[in-house]
């Protein structure tokens, strides 16, 4: 408690106000919203999103979301637009102008120039009687009752509403385009998210080699093979057929069970029916199977032929875990 202020209560009140504002947006999903989505779907150009102040920051986030979900977009700052950046706009573009009041000086100066270009102008605005709203071809209503700011001044609830309306647009466009996880991966090749969506088992296992022994291999040969490849396991192969797997754990259990190791062969200690994964599967699927079976490696196959091993350390190195 600072100066007798209940901080938790204040935070909850702010979240409650913003949550209510977002829920109210459902009433504002009108035919204009549908038409904007349809126009963007048929667009030959880009979506230009502009704003001033905090609305400009929201515009940048909407542009980022559009671009990452298959809608080519460009941010244009409303203040910079009248000082040369209007050249960004091409004849086949659609413009979304974001403003709470719709009456800021920068918007009033900019809108007439936007109208001259002949492009479709969409107003994401919180004042339906404003200059921007009256000049727009379509309106996305983001009216809020009040800001979460105790003085009802700092853009809080209003920018949250703008952000949510932008997300509603992006998701609608994504759904209409049947934008899949593979499409998403094309725009997110970096980082763990992208790798989960495109990195294949073979991309990792092909670098590991193919540790294998025959069923009659003695224990010394088995240990040397496992040690050489540093994957914690070796496949047991007979005439090209995968028979089983021997892991570090199998070696330890063997030492506990047998005193005389001289006559032990690979076939005596191998685990039958090893867990495998096709080399063309996603690496993320390999992680899922390892977790599901509480194991550290999988034998990699193609058409039931042994191709190598993928280890959980491979996934760690790539940041998939």
Q: What is the pLDDT of residues 55-103, one digit of tens each?
A: 999 999 999 999 988 899 999 999 998 888 999 999 999 999 999 999 9
> 252 — phi, psi (to 5°)?
-65, -40
Of 268, 37, 10, whose CA–CA distance to 167 is shortest?
A: 37
| The pLDDT of residue 318 | 86
| Structure confidence at residue 259 as a pLDDT band (50, 70, 90) | confident
Q: What is the pLDDT of residues 2-32, one digit of tens each?
A: 567 889 999 999 999 999 999 999 999 999 9
Q: Give yes or no for a contact between 246 and 271, defined as CB atoms under 8 angstroms apart.
A: yes
Domains and CATH numbers, the chain: 7-179 (3.40.50.10490), 201-317 (3.10.580.10)
In the predicted structure, residue 1 carries a pLDDT above the cut 60: no
Mean of pLDDT over the chain:
92
Q: What percent of the chain has pLDDT over 90?
A: 81
Looking at residues 313-319, what average pLDDT do you find?
89
187 vs 259, more confident: 259
Of 100, 49, 46, 53, whose CA–CA distance to 72 is shortest?
A: 46
User: Was 311 annotated as part of a binding site?
Assistant: no
Dist CA 56 CA 166 (whole Å): 13
| The pLDDT of residue 198 | 79
| The pLDDT of residue 219 | 94
Dist CA 41 CA 27 (whole Å): 23
| The pLDDT of residue 192 | 65
Q: What is the CA radius of gyration of the chain?
A: 30
| Structure confidence at residue 261 as a pLDDT band (50, 70, 90) | confident
Whether the full predicted model's pTM is greater than 0.85, yes or no, is: no
């Amino acid at each position: 408690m600072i100066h007798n202020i209940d901080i938790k209560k204040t935070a909850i009140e702010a979240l409650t106000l913003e949550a209510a504002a977002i829920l109210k947006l459902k009433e504002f999903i009108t035919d204009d919203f549908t038409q904007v989505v349809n126009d963007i779907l048929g667009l030959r150009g880009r979506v230009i999103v502009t704003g001033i102040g905090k609305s400009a920051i929201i515009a940048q986030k909407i542009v980022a979301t559009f671009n990452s979900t298959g809608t080519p977009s460009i941010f244009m700052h409303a203040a910079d637009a009248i000082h040369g950046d209007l050249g960004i706009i091409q004849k086949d573009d659609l413009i979304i102008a974001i403003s709470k009041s719709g009456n800021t000086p920068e918007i009033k100066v900019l809108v007439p120039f936007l109208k001259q270009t002949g492009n479709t102008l969409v107003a994401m605005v919180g004042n339906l009687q404003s200059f921007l709203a009256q000049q727009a071809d379509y309106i996305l209503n983001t009216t809020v009752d009040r800001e979460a700011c105790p003085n009802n001044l700092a853009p809080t609830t209003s920018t949250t509403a703008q952000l949510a309306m932008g997300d509603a647009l992006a998701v609608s466009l994504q759904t209409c385009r049947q934008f899949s996880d593979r499409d998403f991966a094309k725009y997110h090749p970096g980082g763990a998210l992208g790798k989960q969506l495109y990195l294949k088992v073979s991309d990792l296992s092909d670098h590991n080699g193919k540790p294998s022994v025959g069923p009659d291999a003695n224990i010394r040969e088995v240990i040397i093979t496992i040690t050489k490849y540093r994957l914690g396991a070796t496949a047991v192969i007979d005439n090209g057929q995968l028979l089983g797997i021997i892991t570090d754990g199998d070696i330890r259990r063997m030492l506990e069970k047998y005193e005389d190791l001289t006559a032990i062969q690979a076939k005596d200690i191998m685990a039958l029916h090893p867990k495998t994964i096709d080399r063309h599967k996603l690496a993320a699927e390999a992680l899922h199977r390892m977790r599901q079976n509480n194991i550290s490696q999988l034998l990699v196959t193609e058409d039931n032929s042994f191709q190598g091993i993928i280890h959980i350390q491979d996934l760690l190195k790539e940041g998939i875990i």
